[in-house]
Amino acid sequence: AQSVTQPDIHITVSEGASLELRCNYSYGATPYLFWYVQSPGQGLQLLLKYFSGDTLVQGIKGFEAEFKRSQSSFNLRKPSVHWSDAAEYFCAVGAGTASKLTFGTGTRLQVTL
């Protein structure tokens, strides 16, 4: 069965600083990987996804992520964080033929001004 680990529960960065959120997955074959963001009291919004091709994926709101098979990682990055990026970020993996997503425990991002 697949699994996802997000090692950082909480991260604080200053506005304008760069950001990297870590995600490691466990799955025997090439997984489908997703990053979602959740603002307080809201549902999940897709930032980006990877399922094949170029290992550097561009998403919305200036986010990007890089798939590294050798490290089983799919880290999310942003060169310059805005105060509105404060939210909880979830990495998820889909595998096989089923639509079931397995989520990590999330990383809460705080942005200081």
User: Using the 8-state DSSP alphabet, how is residue 29 labeled?
Assistant: S
- 22 in Cβ contact with 7 (< 8 Å): yes
- Residues 29-68 binding other proteins (CB under 8 A) are 32, 34, 36, 41-46, 49, 51
Each residue 69-88 as x (binds other proteins by CB under 8 A) or -, in order, gives --------------------
Is 108 an interacting residue with respect to other proteins (CB under 8 A)?
A: no
| Residue for token pair 């909880």 | 88
Closer by beta carbon to other proteins, 38 or else 72: 38
List the one residue from 13, 62, 102, 108 that touches other proteins (CB under 8 A). Answer: 102
C-alpha to C-alpha distance for 83 and 81, rounded to whole angstroms: 7
Alpha helices by DSSP H, the chain: none
